[in-house]
Amino acid sequence: MNKKIAIPTTSNALSAHFGHCEKFAIYNVEDNKIVSTEMIAPPPHEPGSHPKFLRELGCEVIIGGGMGSRAQGLFADNNIEVFIGVPDQSLEELVQTYINGQMVSGGNLCDH
């Protein structure tokens, strides 16, 4: 697997709402291994800005705590796979769970 995976963060932990995150942790995965990570500040939060921004970075997956249904649709429009309501794990553990094919969405932590 070769993919770029985005995780919205606040205080270096999974953010409950991707639209209000401080940074995105961007994991580069090659041959099923994490080869690099970068922390990137998002653009100002406006409807539709984050999915486009992450697509331009080459991201194919977003793993988040919560996300509104409109945002989920915008990610789908940008061919970015969405996982929300994921377990409370470290960022690297979340990526490894995805690599292992065990990532599933849970309850949405966002109320809109």
What pLDDT, in 10s, does the model give residues 27-61?
Answer: 999 999 999 999 999 998 888 899 999 999 999 99
> What is the rounded CA–CA span in Å between residue 20 and residue 3?
24
Alpha carbon distances (Å) from 34 to 17, 84, 95, 111? 24, 21, 8, 32
Provide the pairing of β-strand 3-10 with 81-83.
unpaired
pLDDT band for position 111 (cuts 50, 70, 90):
low
Tokens 């992450």 locate to: 54
Domain ranges of the chain: 3-99
Whether 57 contacts 1, CB under 8 Å: no
What CATH fold (topology level) applies to the domain 3-99?
A: Nucleotidyltransferase; domain 5 (3.30.420)
The tokens for 75 are 């990610």
